[in-house]
Every structure is written in C-alpha cells, then in structure tokens.
Amino acid sequence: MRVCVIDGRGGGLGCRLVIGLRETVGPDCQIVALGTNEAAAEAMRQAGAEQVAAGPHAIMHMVSTVDVIVASLNVVLPGAMLGEVTPEMVKAILAAKATKVLLPLNRARVEIVGSEDGTLDMLIARSLARVRALAQPACQT
C-alpha cells in the first residue's frame, strides 16, 4: 500500500503526519511525500518519507499512483496555502482513486458542518487512526 502525504508552506503538518504514519503503518507500506514547494518536501523527507517530490506537476502525476492521500482540507481548495494549491492540483487530487483523509484545517474560511473543533494533535491522531484502519488489510506486519 502507498500512503501519500501532501503539504505546503513549511511542511510542518506533513512532517508530523509522516512521523505518525511511520509509527502507525507497517514497513510494507510506502510513504510518499508531496510538497507544494521544496521546503515542505524537504521537511517530509527528513521526517522519513521514502519517496519525495515537490511542485504542482509532481503532485498531479503522483496522486494517481497512491492508495491513500492524507492532507489538510486546503489541498482541495484552489488558491489555498498562500496560492500554492492550483486548480489543476485540486482536479488531480479529487480525480485520484485514492481514499482521501483530509484534516479540517483551512485558512480560507470554509466551515465543514458536522466536524467538531479539535486541537491539531487530536486531528492528526484521528487521521492516523483512519489510515491505520485502511492499511491493516494491505500492510500486515
């Protein structure tokens, strides 16, 4: 199973997700990190992702090759992350057959009705638990 983490800006969230996934999924699962920029990609590389790429074209190409995408809600909001999320990236992410596990974090003033407020730590823990449940059949350790 291939699990993809997408992040932008400085890669702080992506870094935490990669570290958490490394501890959550077995060694048979590959973690692919896709940064909207080089800084985010490098942060996720240092966190332990096996395959790393950066930029809109890399994201558009790679999302079709993974089984699960983990990211903030921003990755499906064109113009988010200070303009780093392009409409083409959003289209590719939404078209990917991968299950999308999106944390309801955004700065675009989009409210998701039915999602309760929580700390970043809580949202990361819930996301990791969901990926663990998705990965269990594919990544038995």
Asked, for residue 130, whether it belongs to a domain, the answer is yes
Asked, for residue 77, whether it belongs to a domain, the answer is yes
User: What's residue 135's pLDDT?
Assistant: 85
Output the pTM of the full model: 0.89
User: What's residue 26's pLDDT?
Assistant: 79
CB neighbours of 18 closer than 8 A, spacing ≥ 6? 5, 31, 33, 44, 47, 48, 49
Q: What is the pLDDT of residues 4-32, one digit of tens each?
A: 999 998 999 999 999 999 988 878 889 99
pLDDT at 141 over 50: no
pLDDT at 113 over 80: no
User: What's residue 41's pLDDT?
Assistant: 97
Asked, for residue 43, whether it belongs to a domain, the answer is yes
Asked, for residue 72, whether it belongs to a domain, the answer is yes
The average pLDDT across 22-45 equals 93
User: What's residue 27's pLDDT?
Assistant: 81
CATH number, position 128: 3.40.50
Asked, for residue 46, whether it belongs to a domain, the answer is yes
User: What's residue 108's pLDDT?
Assistant: 66
pLDDT at 115 over 80: no
Structural domain of 75:
2-135
Q: What is the pLDDT of residues 54-110, one digit of tens each?
A: 999 999 999 999 999 999 999 999 999 889 999 999 999 999 999 999 998 766 677
Asked, for residue 56, whether it belongs to a domain, the answer is yes
Structural domains in the chain (count): 1
The average pLDDT across 109-137 equals 82
56: closest CA among 91, 102, 105, 32? 91
Specify whether the CB–CB gap between 17 and 70 falls below 8 A: yes
